[in-house]
Structure 1
Amino acid sequence: MSAPGRPSTQGPSRGGKPSAPAGTLSEQAKTSFETIASVALAKSLAPEGESAQVAIVSELPRRMKEKKAVVLSIASDRFRLVLALMCRLDEDSKAHFARLNRVDPADWSDQAFQDAVNECGNIIVGAMNRDVGRYFPNVGMSTPNLLDREALSYLDALGPGHKRLFHVTGLAIDFYAALFVAATSTVDFRAEVEQLEDAVDSGELEMF
């Protein structure tokens, strides 16, 4: 039997499914992770002089232009967090990321554009990692991976956890992002994140 507060080390059950992580997230912790993600998205996706609004949504649009997702993770001895920023690699998106980086989009090759998208994901999750690290000292983040959006269906393989979908508006193009947190121990904390006026839909998230 696994020790309390530790991930199960048992192999797949007789039914062929892996053992679930032995952890729980309090409602306060869920809201805190949502707030941390929302503020990071609003700050990191808005070029200078622009502002973004972030709201939680129940589902993604049926027909999405976003075929790719920048995926990064934050891991600790108590939970695993994954954030996926869904994106499209078209001219409108290229213009937005060029504005975000203060460059002329005509100067970017396709690879430079993709690198900028990955770096934006890195900045978003880096900001989250700094905030999360205030409450959990043993955390580390992955490097960004640009995947097909359909790969996000495999997040369920991490086990039972907390999922949220975000819609970022107010910019030249909209963005969608997915947050997934799976606990391997009891996680309960209250985040104190710098509030961005009008950045987060107050009907969906409470800012601390």
Structure 2
Amino acid sequence: MITAHAQDSFERIFRKAAQARLPLDSGDPCEIAPIAEAGSGATKDTQVVVLTISSIVFRLLLILHFDENDSTRKYYLNEADDRPFQEVFLEVCNLCCGAMNQELLRYFPDLGMSTPYVLSARCLPHLRELKPAFLSSYSVTLNGSVQLAATICVCAHAPIDFVADTNAIEETSGELELF
């Protein structure tokens, strides 16, 4: 069971991480709005990046939905960058999940984070099979033109109740954490 306070905390932690890490430039707006269902608006080409944060009491899946279209490629790849789009995008997704992980470490001291992997968005209806205690999806618009989506899926192994303080301002430069 995840209390309403904990659900709100997971959502606020996601919003803070997404607004800090998904835009390439800190001045780019990042609009986040709830959507009814994971995968709504997905096309046959929509893919998802799946990242996992695990603890003794829960497993959180952060799922970032994307279409590798011109506007998304142009936003994340500058002209001088010769890396493939997915390499760059997976790095951004990993930074977003890492920011969530850092926030959650304040309340859950033993967390592990997976490496990102890419799947077809056709897997999203199967999230219900995990019997999540919290499942929420969002549309994400970057710089007014790049459309992404996100899903948070939390499976609880014990009761979870916490209230996150997401008002604290942290200075980080996206450092890599090794463990």
How far apart are residue 195 of structure 1 and its match?
7.3
Q: What secondary structure is seen at the aligned counterpart in 2 of 1:167?
A: strand
Per-residue CA distance 1:174-204 (angstroms, 9 max, x = gap): 21111101110010000011379xxxxxxxx
Q: 2:56 aligns with which of 74, 77, 87?
A: 77
Alignment root-mean-square deviation, CA: 2.0
Q: 2:136 aligns with which of 144, 164, 173?
A: 164
Question: In the alignment, what sits opposite 1:56?
Answer: 34
Question: Based on CA coordinates, which of the two structures has the bigger radius of gyration?
Answer: 1
Q: Percent identity?
A: 31
Question: In the alignment, what sits opposite 2:152?
Answer: 179
Q: 1:122 aligns with which of 86, 94, 106?
A: 94
Q: 1:47 aligns with which of 14, 24, 38?
A: 24
Please list every run of 5 or more consecutive structure 2 residues that lacks an aligned counterpart in the other structure. 170-179
Give, in whole Å, the separation in 1 of the partners of 2:82 and 2:69.
13
Question: In the alignment, what sits opposite 1:134?
Answer: 106
How far apart are residue 157 of structure 1 and its match?
2.6
Per-residue CA distance 1:17-68 (angstroms, 9 max, x = gap): xxxxxxx101100000011111111111112221212121213544537610
State how many pairs are aligned: 166
8 Å contact 1:169–1:175 — kept in the other structure? yes
Query: Which runs of 4 or more aligned residues in structure 1 lie more than 6 Å from their structure 2 counterparts after TM superposition?
Result: none
Per-residue CA distance 1:144-163 (angstroms, 9 max, x = gap): 00111112223223224211
8 Å contact 2:13–2:166 — kept in the other structure? yes
Q: What is the TM-score normalised by the length of structure 1?
A: 0.73
Q: CA separation of 1:130/1:63 partners in 2, compared to 1, >3 Å: closer, same or farther?
A: closer
Q: What secondary structure is seen at the aligned counterpart in 2 of 1:187?
A: coil
Q: CA separation of 1:148/1:65 partners in 2, compared to 1, >3 Å: closer, same or farther?
A: closer
